[in-house]
Chain A
Amino acid sequence: MSQGNTSARSSLRFITCGSVDDGKSTLLGRLLYDAGMLADDQLETLTKESRRQHPDSDVLDFSLLTDGLDAERQQGITIDVAYRYFHSARRNFVVADCPGHEQYTRNMATGASRADLAVVLVDARKGLLTQTRRHTYICALLGIRKIVLAVNKMDLVDYRHEIYQRIETAYRDLADPLGIRSVHALPVAALTGDNVGARSGRMPWYDGPSLLELLESIEVEPAQATDFRMPVQWVNRPNQDFRGYAGTICSGRIKAGDEVMIQPGAHKARVARIVTADGDLPQAHAGQAVTLTLDRQVDASRGDVLTDAARPAAEADQFAAHLLWMGDEPLLPNRGYWLKLGTRTVNARITQIKHKVDVNTQAKLAAHRLALNEVGYCNLDLDHPIAFEPYATNHELGGFILIDRQSNATVACGMLDFALHRASNVHWQHLDVDKLSRARNKGQVPRCIWFTGLSGAGKSTIANLLERRLCALGYHTYLLDGDNLRHGLNRDLGFTPEARVENVRRVAEVANLMVDAGLIVIACVISPFRSEREFARNLFDEGEFLEVFVDTPLEECERRDPKGLYRRARAGEISNFTGIDSPYEAPLQPQVHLRTDRMQLEAAVDELMAHLLPSSSD
């Protein structure tokens, strides 16, 4: 291996992608071999494993070097990204070998998100395939603007120039409209090593550099963003005299004395010190992990962004963004997800899918939901404003992930495009009379009592009795009945999962207004999904929301069938019926659990009254 004077070399992070069987892993293995990065014992293992997998051949199977998982070697495919590290005299390389199958697109995005460049492989015999188009689109989506097109397996097409030319032209036609600014093309034969490490004599019509030479010399574009931005990661408070804001500078530079703004918000302060364990720095720049102290007390915490006070970042709570959906469950508009951008985590929902993009053809299609590995252009609504930059100019302040609130899975990555300015023009109007004073006038504590359960479980019957009881005692109440609301407020909604999400959101918001008005609100909606009930709960203050699970077995509901709906659902006349062909997610910890098959109606109401008015019994 060559001398490892690592500090003098520049770095390049790249990915390799291409269709299954284009020879990606082989090319990468070959590259490592040619760069002299394989140790003797690794070569020995490789030789042994090559023999085992291909008993009839003496050729080294370089793909075995990068496919690291048992399942991958057994199936002969790449499932997840493998990272490899190698270097030449001039550069350190981090290469992420990305899977080609559509079902592993999320893993490819993982690799692509941190790459400066992509090596796209095309089999000379096959030309551009669907997967080539998808990978190129994903690269463009994640902001990779430089591509090396390696037309592989030239040995199998007799090194013919016109085949290479045809593929190169077709690829440029594909990449250009996607905004990929630079495509370097070259012909290679990974198995035999032509044009991988060294230039090949077999294709005299090509006089350009080998792949390794190209990767060594290609210029990495400097980041476009130049204004100072640093998301606060952690507040460093070892004692009362020191308060530092630790973070990694994501763009621009800063020096002691510079004025910064703490965003979101408009507070300003000057940088007093740039603290590191190696001593204070006079200035710092993008990529450095530092700790800043400020010249005055300000309210800044994790998730805030320190910015150049003269050129602050935009703030908004509504955005247009591209989403690559990576969850096993589909994206449902209006469901709440955690959104993490920089170091900030907020609640977000997708208010609208403007269109989805066919990743294979880039055609725009109408969509009501996004499934695994689909890309959509969406509007997002956050519960707090954030400081941001468009992804095109700043990946750190424009790239985000969505996290499922139930499973904690990472379900999407998103690229912010621009802010929708509705929110900034609609301010909260301050009102002098508040919830407390309204409630006091009525002599009651406002509540939202949320009934959930299957159709026919008895929600409306119990709710009705409860309201009568409360009303008789002089309380101010209102009953929001799901069926009744569907005649008016919600009459534009159907029963698909996405419509149910929106239905529950509206009922919850209305209930919230009524609680604000000081009322005791009883909401009666099937509300089959945990996420939306959680959303509803989060609208209310602590203790205001009471989740009541009206728990009646499906067979019993079907037997009662007061509206004849189960019969029709079983007959296939109604679709998306909860319990039949649409799921019901039972509450895990309801505050009140009513087993209607085991108790009398009056007893159920008594139990509820005890919860609402614990003192009324004495």
Chain B
Amino acid sequence: MTSSFTHLDQLEAESIHIFREVAASFQRPVMLYSIGKDSSVLLHLLRKAFYPARPPMPLLHVDTTWKFREMIAFRDEVAAAGDVEVLVHINQDGVRQGISPLTHGAAVHTDVMKTVALKQALDKYAFDAAMGGARRDEEKSRAKERVFSFRNAQHRWDPKRQRPELWNVYNTHIHKGESVRVFPMSNWTEMDVWHYIRRENIPVVPLYFARERPVVERDGALIMVDDDRFILREGEKVQMRMVRFRTLGCYPLTGAVESTASTLDAIIDEMAQSRSSERQGRVIDHDPSASMERKKQEGYF
């Protein structure tokens, strides 16, 4: 192998291969777009895989209605670029019930507005392959998941009966109503993602960069007050702090980290020194230890 063919080149080629395999093998593939840095990379890879053709699959954003405003603005810019179709799905039942992370808690909100919403959207459009930016280094049950991860007609994952997956020969055969979740970035690490973003000059939501932002301290996390729906608890005070986000999600459930890293180089430097893991800021993950596995069995991405 040529020495100039780097680790990132290998990862990129592997991901492109997976994208093309999906496009060639499925009737109605979709790319799940969550607006975060991994989705930014995934979209970049999607465009690269099919160049000079336009990407042969739409993007789907499952909007919980509680995303940071800057995320939605960023999504709308992506849609405005015009080369990919961006579908947005909101669980209207959940909206009618007034489901909110502030009043119903992280678990109920995530189940109704993310997991159920995702299943609604997949059924509505009859997607047979849903591609996502999840990485195996994120979490323990993700570390066990196949690149092509089979789901039954109820969208359930059976971790004990995964299809064997040999080499890069993927079994894409499914019955009607069944589907696969496909993870082209399975073998990327968080550090790879940032190095690749820097190398390829990929735009990401500005929330990843440190700035003065209004936050409150809640249950040990720094929560940004992004709009006037936020309800202050007794004793909580909004203060301006120099913070950034390591992962993005629903703003009341996403902890910021104090940081002065306002450039890509600074972020990468900061991460190299960091002693905490990526998902630490996610309130939803702080349920019992195996919660991701359970959520995934129920259809969560």
Contact = CB atoms under 8 A, between A and B. Distances in A.
B167 A82 contact: no
A277 interface: yes
B275 A39 contact: yes
B289 interface: yes
A247 B24 CA distance: 11
B280 interface: yes
A79 to B, nearest CB: 6
Interface string A435-451: 00000000000000000
Given A7-B6, A83-B143, A45 B173 contact: no
B164 A110 contact: yes
Interface string B169-201: 101011100000000001101011001000100
B107 interface: no
Contacts of B165: 110, 410
B271 interface: yes
A81 B144 contact: yes
Contacts of A206: none
Contacts, number: 187
Contacts of B144: 68-69, 80-83
Interface string A224-267: 00000000011011100010101110000000000000000000
Nearest to A404: B173
Interface in B215-273: 268, 271-273
Contacts of A70: 290, 293-294
A289 B186 contact: no
Interface stretch (A163-171, A338-346, A557-565): A338-346
Given A41-B276, A68-B143, A275-B51, A285 B5 contact: yes
Interface stretch (B12-20, B60-68, B93-101): B12-20
Contacts of A338: 173
Taking each of B141, B143, B163, B195, which has the highest tally of chain A beta carbons within 10 Å of its own beta carbon?
B143
Contact count band on B: 35 or more
B236 to A, nearest CB: 24
Contacts of B5: 285, 287-288
B92 interface: no
B51 A277 contact: yes
A84 B142 CA distance: 10
B13 A41 contact: no
A248 B168 CA distance: 11
Contacts of A408: 171, 173-175
Contact of A41 (B17, B159, B175, B280): B280
A471 interface: no
Given A39-B275, A68-B293, A238-B54, A289 B49 contact: yes
Given A68-B141, A69-B159, A83-B187, A342 B169 contact: yes
A393 to B, nearest CB: 15
Taking each of A79, A326, A410, which has the highest tally of chain B beta carbons within 10 Å of its own beta carbon?
A410
B277 interface: yes
A7 B139 CA distance: 24
Nearest to A113: B166
B7 A11 contact: yes
B289 A49 contact: yes
Contacts of A66: 140, 143
B119 interface: no
Contacts of A276: 48, 51
Contacts of A40: 275-276
Contact of A11 (B2, B10, B49): B10
Interface in B152-169: 159-160, 162-169
Contacts of A246: 20, 49-50
A234 B20 contact: yes
Contacts of A395: 167
A285 B167 contact: no
A374 interface: no
Given A94-B187, A289-B17, A39 B272 contact: no
A434 to B, nearest CB: 34
Contacts of B85: none
Contact count band on A: 35 or more
B53 interface: yes
A616 interface: no
A248 B166 contact: no
Contact of B13 (A42, A73, A289, A302): A289
A82 B144 CA distance: 5
Nearest to B200: A278
Taking each of A69, A84, A94, A285, which has the highest tally of chain B beta carbons within 10 Å of its own beta carbon?
A69
Contacts of B169: 340-342, 399-401
B52 A242 contact: yes
Interface in B10-49: 10, 12-14, 16-17, 20-21, 23-24, 47-49
Interface of B: 1-2, 5-10, 12-14, 16-17, 20-21, 23-24, 47-54, 136-137, 139-141, 143-144, 146, 159-160, 162-169, 171, 173-175, 186-187, 189, 191-192, 195, 199, 268, 271-277, 280, 289-290, 293-294
14 contacts: A6-B8, A7-B199, A39-B274, A41-B280, A66-B140, A81-B144, A82-B144, A83-B186, A92-B7, A109-B166, A114-B167, A233-B24, A246-B50, A248-B16
Interface of A: 1-4, 6-11, 39-42, 45, 49, 65-66, 68-71, 73, 79-85, 92, 94, 106-107, 109-110, 113-114, 222-223, 233-234, 236-238, 242, 244, 246-248, 275-278, 285-289, 291, 302, 326, 338, 340-343, 395-396, 399-401, 403, 408-410, 413
Q: Which 6 A-B pairs have the closest CB atoms?
A: A68-B140, A238-B53, A277-B51, A289-B16, A408-B173, A39-B277
Given A7-B8, A234-B23, A289-B20, 18 more contacts: A1-B274, A6-B8, A40-B275, A66-B140, A66-B143, A68-B143, A68-B144, A69-B141, A69-B144, A109-B164, A109-B166, A233-B20, A275-B51, A276-B48, A277-B47, A285-B2, A288-B9, A289-B12
